[in-house]
Amino acid sequence: MPFSNAISLIKLLFVKDKELYVFIHRITGYYPRDIKPYQLAMVHRSKPVKMPDGRWANNERLEYLGDAVLDTVVADFLYNTFPGKHEGFLTSTRAKIVQRESLNRIGNTLHLDSHVHAQMRSSSHNSYLCGNALEALVGAVYLDQGYKRCRKFIVERLIKKHFNLNDLVKTEQNFKSRLIEWTQKYRVNIEFELVDSYTDTDNNPVFRTAVILGGIYASDAQGYSKKESHQAASKKALDRLRHDQQFCEQVLATATN
């Protein structure tokens, strides 16, 4: 048995929160050096705890830290896993991993809710309770174990165990986000203009949206919601930018300094 693990097991005999101590080891692979950050990571804002200095605290600060560490580690992992892939692909794939729905799913799988101290547990009030706790847990691991071990936890225990990367990169792209990223990169103004709305023969609302790039009409499309019409029109605009060189040059010529 490694010396550090032996020391950790000895600590287990004296630590007050033995259940959490063992739980953290099971999901991270590490014995906590300091149990306090993990205890705070399990404190929801609805039930704050009083700190030794008199402050009331919850896991939101750790959640903020964990969110930043997750973004960095996932970006680094994808950059090295997919050499040659463009910025839009990497940004879109990272978003799918760190989005609230994904983190909440993993948090539920890890049964973080069994350790989170919250005033209420209704699905409506605490819909992302486990996802937020997972971000806070990442922040606690970072503080307790350092970046290198935290990165290993995220990559080996979160990404590789809970995501199929082949399936992930095949899922539908967020065309509107990709188009907005493109316009920000090249400093081109973008507008989404609702040009028509009506009801079809089944009395369903239909919306038609046009995409304007640098004051130049790019595309339009319809959908059964404004969001759907935005996505469809954005996809057409991206396709046109990719395949119509003259149009692309005209749009780029409108770029602002």
For range 158-176, the mean pLDDT: 82
Q: Residue 175 — pLDDT band, cuts 50, 70, 90?
A: confident
Start-end of CATH 3.30.160.20 domains in the chain: 175-252
Distance CA 17, CA 10 (A): 14
Task: Give the residue, 127 or 99, on which the prediction is more confident.
Answer: 99
Tens-place pLDDT, residues 77-98:
999 999 988 777 788 788 889 9
What dihedral do alpha carbons 45, 72, 235, 232 form, nearest 10°? -10
Catalytic residue among 63, 135, 144, 220: 135
Task: Give the residue, 170 or 49, on which the prediction is more confident.
Answer: 49
Distance CA 118, CA 74 (A): 29
For range 171-192, the mean pLDDT: 86
Checking if the pLDDT of 22 tops 70, the result is yes
| Nearest CA-CA partner of 82 in 73, 93, 72, 66 | 93
Q: What is the CATH number of domain 175-252?
A: 3.30.160.20
Specify the pLDDT at position 173.
60
Residue 191, classed as helix, strand or coil, is strand
Catalytic annotation on 135? yes
Catalytic residue among 17, 60, 67, 113: 67
Catalytic annotation on 67? yes
CATH superfamily label, 6-170: Ribonuclease III domain (1.10.1520.10)
| Nearest CA-CA partner of 254 in 183, 194, 192 | 183
Specify the pLDDT at position 165.
87
Burial 29-61 (b: 16+ CB within 10 A, else e): ebbbeebebbbbbbbbeeebeeeeeeeeebbbe
Checking if the pLDDT of 125 tops 80, the result is no
